[in-house]
């Protein structure tokens, strides 16, 4: 620690060069942290912890196709099934198109059984009141806090997919494990079905809860085989497989992110090696003077290594700090349009990996030119003057 002042002054020998390489490090670490955090968020979406005894039955042709609501009768007749809730994405907004959030029309009679882990924290009285009120709705705690809503408020919801604009009354505020779940509004499916003529007898998907996770493969095959030759064939899949469908819409984003990350690491390593080599070469005489004054080669090597590590540590910390700020902005600005961004945060594992990677770059890019600089003899270094 007693040499920290000397190390800092050596870094400030060429302020322009130091700030340029520092800026490059900050931007590189920021980019790597954001990309890896985005990949971790997408992975968590497709591998999130869900109830193992719940799955989705949807149209085999795609998410935009409807299924006959009568299919629910067959699903409920299966001995493995506890409850079935039909569901449809509504896609409405509150007051202004910018106020967009997830909103679904769900079966109000069974959704609290099917989604017991997702919709929680409501009292029995609130649940009964919601089920009683045909124009009632329930909202997540984060969503309620965002707009200052409370139980009893009226929410005008403007439809974008369906030609209706229901006025809903909040009958309960629920809590959930994920931020994306708490940014959601649910209302009665009957309201959608009765208000939109072409939705009569149709639904987007069925969420099915079984007695045990072991029932899923057998029951899924039976359902799909039963409707195999019908006009609307089904596709039964687990929740994680269902969420993975949305991630796949973005393409092979994992390969793209890893490719960009590797390119950035190689580029910043080359730039840092070149910068540190130039800095040490310009101070050949200074290093020789330190050696002549009694500094051992190992101590001089320690001082030179300290410069590189201090520089990359500062750049890494600033880059991660900038990434954390941008992640917060992305959650607030784009979270409504892209639901997975509502859970976009810098995981501790990602921060540790990025910081360790930064230190590794600093070590690799500094140790080679530092060893070359300290191996020169004192006479050769003084002659360079």
At 27-79, the pLDDT tens digits run 888 888 888 877 777 666 555 545 568 889 999 887 788 999 999 999 999 99
- One domain for residues 315 and 362: yes
Among 53, 4, 11, 73, residue whose Cα is nearest residue 282: 11
Average pLDDT score, the chain: 81
- One domain for residues 261 and 307: yes
User: H or E segment at 64?
Assistant: none
Answer yes or no: is 29 within a domain: yes
Q: Burial level of 32, CB count in 10 A (0-12/13-18/19+)?
A: buried
Count of structural domains, the chain:
2
Among 29, 48, 158, residue whose Cα is nearest residue 103: 158
pTM score, whole prediction: 0.62
Tens-place pLDDT, residues 102-135: 899 999 999 998 888 788 888 899 999 999 999 9
Q: How far apart are CA 154 and CA 162, in angstroms?
A: 20
Q: What is the reported pLDDT for 49?
A: 47
Answer yes or no: is 245 within a domain: no
Answer yes or no: is 58 within a domain: no
Q: Are 358 and 272 in contact (CB under 8 A)?
A: no
- One domain for residues 36 and 121: no
- One domain for residues 320 and 369: yes
Say which range, 191-205, 257-271, 292-306, has the weakest mean pLDDT.
292-306
Q: What is the reported pLDDT for 2?
A: 61
Q: Are 201 and 45 in contact (CB under 8 A)?
A: no
- One domain for residues 279 and 175: no
Pairing relationship of beta strands 154-158 and 167-174 according to DSSP bridges: antiparallel
Q: What is the reported pLDDT for 240?
A: 67
In three-state secondary structure terms, 62 is coil
The residue range of the domain holding 261 is: 4-46+251-383
- One domain for residues 101 and 227: yes
Ordered DSSP codes for 228-261: TTSSS-EEEEEHHHHHHHHHHTT-SHHHHHHHHH
- One domain for residues 225 and 258: no
């Amino acid at each position: 620690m007693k040499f920290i002042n000397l190390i800092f002054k050596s870094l400030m020998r060429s302020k322009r060069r130091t700030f340029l390489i520092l800026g490059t490090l900050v931007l590189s670490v920021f980019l790597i942290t954001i990309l890896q955090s985005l990949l971790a968020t997408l992975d968590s979406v497709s591998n999130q912890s869900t109830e193992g005894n719940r799955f989705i039955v949807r149209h085999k042709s795609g998410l935009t196709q409807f299924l006959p609501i009568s299919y629910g009768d067959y699903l409920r007749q299966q001995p493995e099934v506890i409850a079935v809730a039909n569901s449809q994405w509504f896609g409405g907004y509150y007051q202004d198109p910018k106020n967009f959030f997830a909103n679904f029309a769900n079966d109000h009679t069974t959704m609290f059984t099917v989604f017991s882990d997702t919709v929680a924290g409501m009292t029995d009285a609130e649940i009964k009141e919601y089920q009683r009120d045909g124009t009632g709705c329930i909202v997540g705690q984060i969503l309620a806090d965002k707009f200052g809503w409370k139980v009893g408020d009226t929410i005008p919801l403007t439809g974008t997919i369906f030609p209706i604009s229901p006025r809903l009354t909040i009958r309960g505020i629920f809590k959930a494990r994920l931020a994306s779940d708490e940014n959601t509004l649910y209302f009665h499916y009957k309201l959608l079905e009765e208000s939109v003529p072409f939705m009569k007898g149709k639904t987007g998907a069925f969420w099915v809860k079984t007695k045990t996770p072991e029932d899923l493969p057998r029951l899924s095959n039976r359902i799909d085989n039963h409707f195999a030759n019908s006009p609307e064939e089904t596709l039964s899949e687990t929740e994680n497989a269902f969420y993975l469908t949305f991630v796949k819409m973005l393409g092979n984003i994992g390969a793209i992110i890893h490719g960009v990350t590797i390119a950035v690491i190689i580029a910043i390593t080359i730039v840092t090696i070149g910068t540190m080599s130039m800095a040490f070469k310009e101070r050949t005489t200074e290093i020789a003077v330190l050696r002549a004054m009694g500094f051992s080669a190992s101590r001089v090597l320690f001082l030179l290594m300290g410069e590189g590590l201090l520089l990359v540590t500062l750049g890494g910390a600033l880059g991660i700090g900038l990434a954390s700020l941008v992640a917060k902005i992305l959650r607030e600005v784009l979270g409504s349009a892209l639901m997975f961004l509502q859970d976009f945060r810098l995981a501790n594992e990602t921060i540790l990996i990025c910081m360790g990677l930064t230190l590794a770059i600093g070590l690799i890019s500094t140790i080679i030119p530092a060893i070359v600089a300290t191996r020169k003899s004192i006479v050769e270094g003084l002659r360079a003057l």
